[in-house]
Amino acid sequence: MSGSISACYRIPNLQPGNYWLAVNQVLLQRGTLAKDSGFPTSNAQGNSGPAVTLSLSPPNGPAGSKVLLHGVVAATLNPLPPVANFCWAGCVNGLQYDGVSITWTGKHTFSASIVTPAGPWIDGATDHLTYPNVGYYRISTQCLELFRGCGLGTSEGSTVFHVTHTPPPFTDQLHLKSPFVFPGQVVKVTGSVPLLDIIGSSQAFVFQFTLDPKPLPTYHLVTSAKLAGQATFVDLGATEVSIIPATSIISHPIVAPKNIQLGGLSDIAVNSNLFGLVFTCVGNGIVETRNGVNTTISVSSVNQALGNSPFPSPGCVTIVDSVGAANNPVLGAAFISPTNYSSGPPYTLRPFVSKDIGQSWTPIPVPAGLQQSSFIGFAQGTRALTALFISNSLEPIAETTPNGMTWTTGPMDCPKSGPCITYGGLSFGNCAMNGSTQQIFYRPTVEGQLRQVPWPNPVNACFETELFTSGKDEYLLSTSSSYPLRKSSDGGAHWEVVSGIPTLPGSSPGISQEEAETVLPNGSLLSASSKGGVYLLGANDRWCKVPIPGVPSNFGPYLVPGRTHVYYKFYENGGMALGSISDTQIHCGR
């Protein structure tokens, strides 16, 4: 309760320069300020609640003492509340303890405990720091009767505590081991800041860090014009930090990327071993694109296996083609199960396999002890078709087949080439509400088990992410992150931010863009802007608009690289269709 903090903070992806790191907290408006802002500070009877006679033990002690509070309530409460608020030095202008647990010893009596402050707090009347010097301080209670704004008014009863010893001198300052940091680095922040609000009896209120390019004093009020200049936030303990440049894409360009793995919920499958062959989930099932010619794949037997499907055709969600010759590939696909369709997303997916391009479909076996709902996606880049299932362990269980007929149960495997870094299964969710995530795994040793990458992990599966290899490094492209490009030079154990990717035209700098973006065979980045247009980041490290006639603006969230084309989905006639851009069309306009 002295205001000391110790926390870890990841440095945002900011431009190099000097910044001021501070603890940022909200200043609650209480009393008259709350009433003037439209918040009630009394109940329907016009008071703060039933009267309480409050006493404490011990009655005195040094700052930071733990005191036991005893209360006698004048009225009968039903039900008896399990928590209440307490205040130090007044409920309107003093330090508030939110949600302190109370024990009822009778219908009208209760007990609770708090730890008195051993460091300064912010006085609500003056917004200045107040120190727990020797003297008498009022301890009060409120919110025994819950109503909107009960914690913004006066108390229901109080008593007095005598501080007998002043705590050691207080220094309002934050500290870092080194003042020089780089984007993405996790730094330990220590120091002391004034108290503002307390959770329970002794836990300092949740705070957040902020980095400001303008010099900040160690104590800085952030005022609001909407509240007539009243302070709404306060920056505490500001200290100067120098952000140094991260590895730059200019000095470390992407060269001949390979082993590309696509993360997320993409339903476009391109296998580099099957030249000119693409499979896509569309509204009427699955479409095969063979050298530019589209053919609808039958899914009627999937309908029979799923039962009473709510769709005209089964809801194909994600597919992957893995093994076999181009004239007869083994095809895996996941379909929405009708058993939970009425409950809304996230849906349960059921995986199927076809070894005759849709003439027949058979369910992929579920590992022993698991349920069909345990399916979490297909692995990429492996030597066989691999379906992943979530288990009690951190690593998914895999069902693998080389031919669509014989299956092997075992641990998830590494990609067939490149570093052993791969996507795990998906945490299926509703992208419009709670989102969807995906883990990344790596193998630290040749014979070791796969482990989850500590960071960046998990990644946002609602938007495009790509893992790929360039030279000896592994890269992660993730436009929905504020760190859109990261690389690992040690097989996935540690990752660093790659800087130098400019903001797309028309977009705000420093904000994740959530655009469809992919890496091309020559190392350039191709992005489909949500504001319209396709852009190329080439050798001059600037985005240029690609003059491609006939490309729609209503892109889906993925750009999928193939051998000679980049594929995408777009909205057409109330459904989704597959489109493509030839590599020969991707260049800056003249």
Give yes or no for a contact between 467 and 263, defined as CB atoms under 8 angstroms apart: yes
Distances (CA, A) of 181 to 174, 244, 475, 542: 15, 6, 22, 26
| Mean per-residue pLDDT over the chain, rounded | 83
**Residue 312: pLDDT band by 50, 70, 90 thresholds?**
very low
Residue 18 neighbours by CB distance under 10 Å: 12
Domains defined for the chain, CATH in brackets: 4-26+171-196+203-244 (no CATH), 32-163 (2.60.40.1930), 257-585 (2.130.10.10)
Copy the structure tokens of residue 304.
């029979």
User: Mean pLDDT lowest for which of 263-272, 304-313, 465-474?
Assistant: 304-313
Tokens found for residue 293:
């010619």
The pLDDT of residue 340 is: 55
Tokens of 467: 């893992």
What is the C-alpha separation between 452 and 454, in angstroms, rounded?
6
Q: Which element (helix H / strand E) includes 32?
A: helix 32-36
pTM: 0.81
pLDDT for residue 228 is more than 60: no
Q: Mean pLDDT lowest for which of 187-191, 413-417, 520-524?
A: 413-417
Nearest Cα neighbor of 31 from 129, 130, 151, 128 is 151
DSSP per-residue letters across 95-151: EEEEEEE-EESSSSEEEEEEE--SS-EE-TTT--EE---SEEEEEEEE-SS--TTGG
Q: Which of 35-39, 266-270, 336-340 has the highest mean pLDDT?
A: 266-270
Mean pLDDT of 305-330: 66
- What pLDDT shows up at residue 429? 72
Higher pLDDT, 347 or 305: 305
The model's pLDDT over 199-211, given as tens digits with 9 standing for 90+, comes to: 888 887 767 888 8
CB contact at 8 A, 235 and 39? no
Tell me which DSSP letter residue 450 carries.
Answer: P
3-state secondary structure 309-352: CCCCCCCEEEEEEEECCCCCCEEEEEEECHHHHHHCCCCCEEEE
> Minimal CA–CA distance to 398: which of 429, 364, 360?
364
Beta-strand runs (E) in 471-509? 473-478, 485-488, 496-499
Can you give the pLDDT at residue 34? Answer: 61
Nearest to 421 by CA among 383, 478, 460, 382: 382
Summarised one tens digit per residue, pLDDT across range 143-199 is 887 776 777 778 889 999 999 998 888 777 888 988 899 999 999 999 888 888 898
Q: What is the pLDDT of residues 86-138, one digit of tens each?
A: 999 988 888 999 999 999 999 999 999 999 999 998 887 777 888 999 999 99
The mean pLDDT of 456-466, rounded to a whole number, is 88
Q: Please, are residues 292 and 323 in contact by the beta-carbon 8 Å criterion?
A: no
Higher pLDDT, 437 or 160: 160
Work out the average pLDDT over 46-70.
90
Most confident of 140-154, 356-370, 372-386, 501-515: 356-370
How wide is the angle at C-alpha 588 spanned by C-alphas 587 and 590, nearest 5°? 120
Residue 532's contacts (CB-CB under 8 Å, 6 or more residues apart) are 553
